[in-house]
Structure 1
């Protein structure tokens, strides 16, 4: 009898392996597509000023789309474009400089874009999005640390909000002026609400 049991187990191994392979993608659901709710989304950029304080610019106008695949977060795509010409600043002098050639040069580069192509979750509501940020015609790798208001893989058909943060070096995007006054590290915060489409 022991030999017979061993033979049964031996025969079952390839069958179970085939069953596991056949069902490996069973938990992957239909891609969920969202549009960013522009009225409830914005981007801010905070930079040190004189090493003692900071100034924050806001980009209130943006558009974008998000795709999340239940069961396969690594297939997520976040594509957000914000209007650089609509930039807001604490004072008129700062605004003039930010809009000018030494910073965002909005006349030549009217938009800034982030495209994330992979979501790695560390918990149901926290993770990182790896992608690329393009500003002033320069594209560089960027990673957003994201926090969702609910598990995005479980909110099928429902709005989902998230906050994403990253830090860039403005010099890598051609913004090298006023280095004795303005810090080089820029903290960027994206707050967005995604609406199913």
Structure 2
């Protein structure tokens, strides 16, 4: 009887993941995006993206609180579809890419919510300033891909106040914050 109980317990352990699966964000296949929008003088929205970034996440579907995220952005890859504006955005007035070529987000906590949502808290380092940031995230889905791999996808949004990261250039009273949208698809490693 004890032997049967031991085998049953061992089979449960083998059937249940003991830790989060590791994923590489699929930037090479262009299945991940970091986009932003900011008010332009209060008259319209200016949209852009970062073309070069990389990252990983650990995701435990059974226990999402065990998940974690780490992303590094090459700030010189900012692209607002206007070369002169991008040159200005790379300057000391904004991202100061010559001195701070990368921005980095490292999660510190994941709080699961209802229906695949979560709140991801972590530290964002931008322009040499590290501040806590909260991302509202939602699971898009996961499963086998056509190439024999396994993928998970998420959408996250957050709002950053520019002056919190030393960006004090006056864009008008309606342009003090930037909205970020992170569309992430990862391949299980």
Question: Shorter-chain TM-score category?
Answer: 0.7 to 0.9
Matches within 5 A, 1:1-197: 29-38=18-27, 39-150=30-141, 158-180=150-172, 183-197=175-189
Asked if the contact 1:158/1:195 (under 8 Å) is kept, the reply is yes
- Aligned-partner Cα distance in 2 for 1:174–1:135: 9
Asked if the contact 1:124/1:151 (under 8 Å) is kept, the reply is no
CA RMSD of aligned residues (A): 2.2
1:89-132 deviation digits (Å, cap 9, x = unpaired): 13223111101001001111111111112222212421111111
What TM-score do you get using the length of structure 1 for normalisation?
A: 0.78
Larger radius of gyration, structure 1 or 2?
Answer: 1
- Structure 1 unmatched runs, 5+: 1-25
**Which is strand-richer, 1 or 2?**
2
